[in-house]
């Protein structure tokens, strides 16, 4: 079976010690492409290096809203240089995140040392990158937390890529799905929605049009619940869990279940959707 991971961060340090095993397992379960998102200027070179070594890696370069506040004065030239050097690369991970400004716990280690850009600044950084994707008709990946109303307004007003764009791990309302799909959105499901506390968010994916569905791991983040975790990796030295990207199989299975279909029927549909948006 041909599986496609629409959103991961294979360049992340947590996975580096396990590359031999990870790439072997990905091939064994039939994963054909993994969109590997750079999220800051610091990790774009690692994404490029990994793509050069592993054809399964589809490189993507973008400035994530968490990293927007720490961008260098040359970030735009730097991004353009990476995209020019990698024809077929995507733009991402880009987006909007109000959670870091209003709901994140003060000591969250993932945010340590980051200057958190206010939402107006995040908007400016997002719109510049989205305009670039529109102008070049590149695939792009949008992260959105606690800002779906604003994102919807911005997308409606913006020039959008003719090929569409991905709302990764979409956590907005069911009511917005049809309108976002009309604007060109694809929606990717991940193991975050397998948690029992996220049943309401999970149900949204039963309503996404079949031709706009994608599947992702967000690895090394978001391990599936233990009962569904087929591939395990050791935790990091400081005790953080690491999601093995081959757990994509569990996410396909859960999505098929949610949609009342089989993995065999879902897989070719997701393949078509992936190739339409990200190209081959
Ligand atoms: Zn991500």
Report the predicted TM-score, pTM, of the whole model to 2 decimal places.
0.97
SS3 track for 106-173: CCCHHHCCCCCCCHHHHHHHHHHHHHHHHHHCCCEEEEEECCHHHHHHHHHHCCCCCCCEEEECCCCC
Domain extents in the chain: 3-278
Q: Does residue 142 have a pLDDT over 80?
A: yes
pLDDT digits (tens, 9 = 90+) for 148-157: 999 999 999 9
Strands 3-8 and 31-37, by their bridges, are: parallel
Mean pLDDT, residues 135-150 taken together: 98
16-52 burial, b at 16+ Cβ within 10 Å, e below that, comes to eebeeebbebbeebebbbbbbbbbbbebbebbbebbe
pLDDT for 166: 98
Neighbours of ion ligand 1 (CB under 5 A): 93
pLDDT tier, 209 (very low <50, low <70, confident <90, very high otherwise): very high
Q: Report how far ligand 1's centroid is from the alpha carbon of 143 (Å).
A: 7
Mean pLDDT, residues 88-96 taken together: 98
pLDDT tier, 106 (very low <50, low <70, confident <90, very high otherwise): confident
CATH dotted code for 3-278: 3.20.20.140
Mean per-residue pLDDT over the chain, rounded: 96
pLDDT for 280: 72
Q: Report how far ligand 1's centroid is from the alpha carbon of 35 (Å).
A: 10
Q: Does residue 182 have a pLDDT over 80?
A: yes
């Amino acid at each position: 079976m041909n599986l496609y991971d629409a959103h991961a961060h294979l360049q992340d340090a947590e996975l580096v010690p396990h590359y031999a095993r990870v790439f072997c397992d990905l091939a064994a379960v039939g994963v054909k492409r993994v969109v590997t998102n750079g999220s800051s200027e610091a990790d774009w070179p690692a994404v490029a290096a990994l793509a050069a070594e592993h054809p399964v890696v589809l490189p993507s370069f973008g400035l994530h809203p968490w990293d927007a506040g720490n961008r260098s004065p040359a970030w735009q030239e730097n991004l353009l240089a990476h995209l020019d050097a990698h024809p077929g690369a995507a733009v991402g991970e880009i987006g909007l995140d109000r959670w870091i400004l209003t709901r994140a716990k003060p000591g969250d280690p993932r945010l340590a040392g980051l200057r958190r850009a206010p939402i107006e600044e995040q908007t400016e950084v997002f719109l510049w990158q989205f305009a670039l994707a529109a102008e070049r008709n590149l695939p792009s990946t949008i992260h959105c937390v606690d800002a779906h109303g604003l994102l919807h307004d911005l997308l409606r007003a913006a020039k959008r890529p003719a090929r569409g764009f991905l709302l990764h791990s979409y956590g907005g309302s069911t009511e917005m799905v049809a309108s976002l799909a009309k604007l060109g959105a694809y929606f990717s499901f991940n193991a975050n929605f397998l948690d029992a506390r996220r049943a309401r968010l999970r149900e949204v994916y039963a309503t996404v049009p079949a031709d706009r569905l994608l599947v992702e791991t967000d690895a090394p983040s978001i391990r599936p619940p233990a009962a569904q975790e087929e591939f395990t990796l050791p935790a990091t030295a400081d005790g953080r869990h690491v999601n093995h990207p081959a757990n994509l199989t569990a996410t396909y299975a859960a999505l098929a279940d949610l949609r009342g279909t089989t993995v065999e029927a879902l897989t070719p549909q997701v393949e078509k959707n992936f190739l339409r948006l990200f190209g081959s």
